[in-house]
Amino acid sequence: MMTRSRLTAAMFSTAGLEQVFSSQNTVARMLDVEAALARATAKEGLIAQQVVAPIVACCDVMQIDLPALAQAAGPAGNLAIPLVKQLTALVARSDPEAAKYVHWGATSQDVIDTGLILQLREALDLIVVELAEFADILAGLALHHRNTPMIARTWMQHALPTTFGLKVAGWLDAVLRHQERLAQLRSRLFVLQFGGAAGTLASFDDQGLTVASALAHELDLDLPELPWHTHRDRVAEVATVLGLLTGTLGKIARDISLHSQTEIAELSEPGGAGRGGSSTMPHKRNPVACAAALTAAMRVPPLVSTMLSAMVQEHERALGGWQAEWDTLPEIICLSGAALSQLRQAVSGLAVDAAKMRENIDSTRGLVMAEAISLALGKSIGRPAAHALLEQACQRALQNGLSLHQVLSDEPTVSTALTPTELSALFNPLAYAGEATGFVNRVLAAHQRRKAGFHFPEE
C-alpha cells in the first residue's frame, strides 16, 4: 500500500501504473507465485498432483480479504505471512489435504520479491512503450525544426545561434540512452527469487534446483545463479535507471518552461479546457506538464537514495533495508512514468514560434554574431586584433543604440577586409550554426537504428 495521495494520482502517476501497483494487483502477483509453486513442486513429485488444482483455484485475489490482510501485515512484519494464512484457510474449506501443501518449502521473501518482479515486468513494459512513443515524437520535432534558427543560451544569457532541432535532438539523444539502459537491465532483473528460509532451498532436499527451475519456467522468469535475498542491486538498478530517466525528463521540462516565459515566448504547451489556467488570472497558460515532470525530478532522487541505502543488508535476510524498498520503488516508478506521460502529451502538441525565435536572435541587434565576424576578420588582421576590434564595436553599439552591422559598416578596417555582401552574410544565424544540422542527422539516424532493433512487449 503506497502512501501518496490518491487525489493527486493523475499528476504523479498513470492509470496503468496505478493498476500495476494497486493493492489488488500486488496480492494477485503474489498469488501467481503461490500457484506456480504448487504446479512446480507437483511436477517434481514433491507434492501430489491432485492437490494442485484446489490450491490454484484459491489463488484468486477476489477471494482474499484485502482489508484483513492489510490489518494483519503490520503485526506479521510482511504481507506474505497473513496472505499464506488466508490462502491456506481458503484451500482447507474445499480440500483439507491440499491445504497442507500451500506455500510448500518457500519463504515469505520468495513470494514478495518474485511477485514484485512480476509487477516490475508489467510496469517497465508500459514505460518502455511510452518512452518509444516519446522518442518518435522528439524525432519528428527535431526533423521538422532541423534548420529553425534560435539563440543558444549559456549561463542564462544569449550565446550563439543554434537550431531548435539541435536542442530537441539533445533531448532525443538522452532518451535513446535511457531506452538502451532499460533494455539492458531486463536480463538482470526478470529473474526468480527462490531460496527458502536461508537461501539454501534445504526444504527440498536434493531437488531444490529442479524445483526452482520449474518455478522459473512457470512464471516465464530466468533462473539466477543463486537466491538474492540480501543482494539488492537488481531492484536498486531499476531505481537508478529510472532516476536517470526522470532527471532527463526534468531537464526537458526545465528547457520548455524557460522557453515558455512571457519575455521569451518561443514555446508553449498545448492548451485546452481545464488545462494550465489560473484560478484568478484568465490570461494564464501555465506549463502544467513541465510542473509535473519537474516535481518528479525533485522527488525521485531522494527515493533513489533510499533504495541505494537499503542495499546494505544484514547476512542472509534483512532487517529494515528490504522493508524500506516496499513503498519506495513503486513510488519511483509511478513518478517516473507520470513525468514521461505528461511530457509525451505536452511535446506532441508543443507550439513552436519560429518567428519569435528569430526575433529573439535579433533582439541584441547582431551582437550574438560577434564571434563569427571576429573569426572572419581575423583571417586578414589576426585573431587578437579582430577580437579587440569587435569588443570595442559591441560596446559602441550598446552605448549608441545601434546595430553591430551599422557600427562595423562604418569601420575602415572592416570595410578593407570584408565586402558589404560578405559582412551582411556573416549576420545570417544559420551561417554560424556549425554542425547543428549534422548533429541532428546523426541522432535521427541513431533513433532509426534503435527502432529497427526495438521490439514492443508482447500483448
The number of CA neighbours under 13 Å toward the Cβ of 323 is 12
Which of 153, 317, 358, 396 is flagged as catalytic? Answer: 317
Calpha distance 337→242 (Å, rounded): 9
Calpha distance 445→440 (Å, rounded): 9
b/e burial code for range 88-126 (CB count within 10 A of at least 16 → b): bebbbeebeebbebbbbbbbbbbbbbbbbbbbbbbbbbb
Three-class DSSP category at 240: helix
Say whether 317 is catalytic: yes
Distances (CA, A) of 451 to 97, 129, 336, 358: 53, 12, 22, 33
Backbone region of residue 103 per phi and psi (left: phi > 0; alpha: psi in -120 to 50; beta: other values): left
- C-alpha cell read off for 252: 526537458
Say whether 278 is catalytic: yes
Tabulate helix, strand, coil % of the chain (nearest 5).
Answer: 70, 5, 30
- Sign of the torsion angle spanned by Cα atoms 281, 283, 289, 295: negative
- C-alpha cell read off for 240: 537508478
Which of 278, 363, 415, 424 is flagged as catalytic? Answer: 278
Amino acid at 26: T
Three-class DSSP category at 154: strand
Residues with catalytic annotation? 278, 317
